[in-house]
A and B are shown apart, each in its own frame.
Chain A
Amino acid sequence: MNWPTIKLIFRRELRDQLRDRRTLFTVAIMPMLLYPLMGMAMMQVAQFMRESPSRVWIVGEEKLPASPPLIVGGKFNSTFGETESQLIELIGSSAGDGHFESLVKSATSDSDDSSSVEEIIRQEMQKRKMDLAIFIPNQIQIPEHSGPDTATEGQLSTPASATQVFVLTDSAIDKSRIASERVNRILNEWSKEFSKETLVANEIPTSMIQGVVFTTGDVANKTGKQAAAWSKILPFIIMIWSLTGAFYPAIDLCAGEKERGTFETLLSSPAARSEIAFGKLLTVMTFSMATSFLNLLSMGFTGIFVLTKLGAGMGAGGPLPIGIPPLASLGWLLLALIPISALFSAVALAAAAFARSSKEGQYYLVPLLMISMPLMMIPMLPAAELDFGTSLIPVSGLMLLLRSLIEANYTDCLKFAVPVCAINLACCWLAVRWVIHQFNSETVLFRASERFGIGAWLKHIMRERRSLPSLGSAILCGVVILVAKFFIGFAVTAPQNFGQFALQTVIILVATIFIPSVMMALFLTRNPKKSLRLNGCKLTMAAAAILAAIFLNPAFTWLTGLIMHIYPPSGDMLMLQEAVSRILGSAPGLWAIILIFALAPAVFEEIAFRGFILSGFQSIKGKWKPILLTSLMFGLAHGIIQQTMITFVVGLVLGLIAIQTKSILPCILFHLTHNSLAVLLSQANRTVVEQSPVLRQYLYSTDGQNYQYATFPAILMSFVGVMLIIWFLQLDTKPSNRSEAYGRVPHPN
């Protein structure tokens, strides 16, 4: 790649975008106007909300005790809540509306039944005549002490002497909810005072009702509290704006250029496709960063101003517990803006490169946002924290890392910075590769709008079937397996015994792995047998596969231990393991466990992964890329992160054997042996090992339960295992006619 050319393209695209009024408006003008306007609106609304009084109707005001006085001069007694009493307008009281007074009189004179008053209240509330009603059915007076309480158990919640007051609200109406909050504060204070006066009247010291005093304290300093508050908000804001800021320039630079016809001119210039892609990426990144930064700046200033004003206006409530973000957090944000913008710019550019018009490009914005939003929301959850699992999630990991940096949790940051950066860089790299691929793809550059119909599409699929699966079919099969496994997880219930467990395991394997791959081989390829690699193999190959599984088992066991040590299993996983062990205890015999844990997965998973999916990935040139991709999918299908890592490595060996032997039979044998040994090792106990002179040499245990391979035999066996892999590697794999198999037109060269 020629950097001066990339710089040239970047500068031109940048200038071009800066001359576009729409882009300038979105990037610079909008943030400067949006937040101040929103802030003004918020202040207006807040002002309106503060000034809006709650209308409260008290039915039976005359039944209130004279002391402590709840109502003074037609308003709630300000002693029980100064601010609240000012914000409540009493109607139906002596100072209220005559209409309510007459309603109360008619209701109380007609009948003594309180339900008629409640009915009137309900009707009046529905007519929005009031926000809240207080109904006092009986006279409230200070009770006199009359000896020990004779109430039986179960009646304690409503003692005979308790006076009931009904507070009626309509929770469907916001104003009613606000009124409820205000009134409850006053009533609580009044009730406390009433209780005190009751105690005094009965000559009981008020200290008698003092229970346990809880004193709360907050050890966080002011900066820490502010950092914690901002650490959740700021990463989300910069993520949203860097994506938005990236998308519109990306559409203009790719789809827009195709539309205007300038792309063809650029492609016929000496600039390489990769140089064009990188030049455009740098431009989109610049705009993404600028949008994010300016939004942050404008929002920060407006936010601080509004919060200060609102806080001052709260009076008793004091300023809100969120202040100016700590300086360090702003520094981390600016630093994090670079990888965040790079990732979103690359993804946006990839989506835009696929679009043939600006309009089509905008359609892709919605799914991109739909995918990105949950990833951005995960770190906002209170329980979400940076660990190895979350660090592997693109976007979320980056956001959590940023959160930890703002919270000054540098230990976690150092621990997980590498996987976070690696996974996001990998996504970025894939997106850029995709863009370059799109720039090279004629169908994307010059495709016209085609009439799309299901019938025509199905006919097209059937007509275009190749002998072996295509790359797209392989990816589709992998995705179907992952999605099916995800959904079936909701459907299954916890098995109660081994029979249920075995049936469930087999059904899941067949439904989610075997059926999708076989159906795809039947319908999407012309040669299902070859696609599933259902070929025979030499006896030596089969024997070598079994031996390789045996000899490599110590290495895999050691790897499993290492992974479990670095990433210890979670509590849920341990509980699951325990539950499985319990169920295995009810198995009819070791043969049944091997059947379910070794044979079934070996057959079904090999048909899907080393059969259909690997055949599809083999349309990519080379041996290792298809193996790597298949193993990745094989690992992901296992769900639990530790298992994913282990099966990924096992998948590499299986993939190699499949390609070298051109058959899944040795793979099934390897898989069967590998899983069987794992089962046997887990079931090994002191009696069995001690009785066997061979096992005594190879296995040892510190607790008499969990057996491991002894070091020296393990090294020796691993060496033999590696030799066997080398033997597989040297097998003559005559290149088959790839063009014919994958349906490619031979290149003119």
Chain B
Amino acid sequence: MIHVRNLQKTYKDIQSGQFTALAGISFDAMPGQIYGLLGPNGAGKTTALRILSTVLKPSGGSAVVNGFNVIDQPEQVRRQIGFVSCNTAIYDRMTSWELVQYFGQLYGMPLDRLHSKMNALFERFQMNEIRDVLCSKMSTGMKQKVSIVRAMIHNPPVLIFDEATSGLDILVAREVLKTVEQLRDQGKCIVFSSHIMSEVKRLCDRVAIMNRGVILAEGTPTYLAEKHQENDMEELFYQLISRSEAQLESNKNAEVPPHNLTLPLAN
């Protein structure tokens, strides 16, 4: 469903000249699977997801979403995905109903089909009470619900959640995670980025642990635990990141470019 190969992204920076956000990452995410991107702030998770959603163009490598290349076929890719970001990103001066309808129309859905789909989703997410409420009057949890419904309205085969539970209270966060699980069970391919270990351990079928634009480790949570002989996901994450930082520091002293980083992953 999603095939990422040697994906690279560099930004120009007036201070340092060039900043490498992604130094060549590769992974595959399949339908009915939640693929977790795990990493600290600045690891490159959001950059990778923005490339998958065609908002950014890669500097190198390739990414294919449901058979469409993000570079050559961005419009087709955008029809295959639903994107939920951490900052809810909804229009304050629209009601939840208007907002979802607007995006449904942008995806070219006929009004009758759109309305029946909207009715079903509003019912399922218990949003009928807020359908005529302006988004500016909603709580963060409600806004995130609207954002998820907005991303699902065109029934995309791929859903991208970029730190979607960030800033939510535990009740709403659980509801979001439950929704993500349900979507996975419906056969959707889900890419889920987070830096909360418990979420990743509970949800993800496969995980890629990232730091500074590279994937340090990749596999199922069980496989990673066995490989690194560490059952505690948080501890495993901490060890990998610490080693990566130490390695980067020594490479920096030896003036080795960061994308040449190699890590001893196994103990």
Does A267 reach chain B (CB closer than 8 Å)?
Answer: yes
Does A106 reach chain B (CB closer than 8 Å)?
Answer: no
Does B72 reach chain A (CB closer than 8 Å)?
Answer: yes
Contact with B along A6-26 (1 / 0, CB 8 A): 001100100110011000000
How far is the CB of A499 from the nearest CB of chain B, in Å?
A: 50
- Given A270-B78, A749-B71, A261 and B103 touching (CB < 8 A)? no
Asked whether, in the complex, the Cβ of B106 is within 8 Å of the Cβ of A268, the reply is no
Interface stretch among B48-56, B169-177, B183-191?
A: B48-56
> For B134, what are the chain A residues with a Cβ–Cβ distance below 8 Å?
19
Does B93 reach chain A (CB closer than 8 Å)?
Answer: yes
How far is the CB of A26 from the nearest CB of chain B, in Å?
A: 16
Asked whether, in the complex, the Cβ of B107 is within 8 Å of the Cβ of A269, the reply is yes
Asked whether, in the complex, the Cβ of B56 is within 8 Å of the Cβ of A442, the reply is yes
Chief secondary structure at chain A's binding surface? helix
> For B102, what are the chain A residues with a Cβ–Cβ distance below 8 Å?
8, 12
- Given A261-B85, A264-B89, A457-B14, A270 and B108 touching (CB < 8 A)? yes
How far is the CB of A352 from the nearest CB of chain B, in Å?
A: 17
Contact with B along A245-277 (1 / 0, CB 8 A): 000000000000000111011011111100000
Asked whether, in the complex, the Cβ of B14 is within 8 Å of the Cβ of A445, the reply is no
> For A267, what are the chain B residues with a Cβ–Cβ distance below 8 Å?
54-55
B11, B14, B83, B102: residue with the most chain A Cβ atoms closer than 10 Å: B14
Contact with B along A442-465 (1 / 0, CB 8 A): 110110001110001100100110
- Given A8-B102, A451-B15, A457-B14, A265 and B71 touching (CB < 8 A)? no
Does A308 reach chain B (CB closer than 8 Å)?
Answer: no
- Given A20-B93, A268-B55, A748 and B62 touching (CB < 8 A)? yes
Contact with A along B57-100 (1 / 0, CB 8 A): 11111100000000110010011010101011111111000100
Asked whether, in the complex, the Cβ of B106 is within 8 Å of the Cβ of A442, the reply is no
How far is the CB of A281 from the nearest CB of chain B, in Å?
A: 17
Asked whether, in the complex, the Cβ of B60 is within 8 Å of the Cβ of A748, the reply is yes
CA distance A452 to B12 in the complex (A): 14
How far is the CB of A358 from the nearest CB of chain B, in Å?
A: 14
CA distance A8 to B94 in the complex (A): 14
CA distance A271 to B75 in the complex (A): 8
Asked whether, in the complex, the Cβ of A16 is within 8 Å of the Cβ of B89, the reply is no
Does A5 reach chain B (CB closer than 8 Å)?
Answer: yes
> For A20, what are the chain B residues with a Cβ–Cβ distance below 8 Å?
93
Does A745 reach chain B (CB closer than 8 Å)?
Answer: yes
Asked whether, in the complex, the Cβ of B81 is within 8 Å of the Cβ of A268, the reply is yes
> For B10, what are the chain A residues with a Cβ–Cβ distance below 8 Å?
745
Does B231 reach chain A (CB closer than 8 Å)?
Answer: no
Asked whether, in the complex, the Cβ of A460 is within 8 Å of the Cβ of B103, the reply is no
CA distance A20 to B75 in the complex (A): 31
How far is the CB of A15 from the nearest CB of chain B, in Å?
A: 8
Contact with B along A429-446 (1 / 0, CB 8 A): 000000000000011011
Contact residues of B with A, CB < 8 Å?
Answer: 10-15, 17, 50, 53-62, 71-72, 75, 78-79, 81, 83, 85, 87-94, 98, 102-103, 105-108, 134, 147, 150
List the 4 shortest-distance A-B pairs measured between CB atoms, nearest first. Answer: A19-B93, A261-B87, A261-B89, A268-B53
Additional A-B contact list (16), CB under 8 Å, known A12-B94, A270-B107, A456-B15: A8-B102, A8-B106, A12-B102, A262-B91, A265-B89, A267-B55, A269-B103, A269-B107, A270-B75, A270-B108, A442-B57, A443-B11, A446-B56, A457-B14, A464-B12, A748-B60
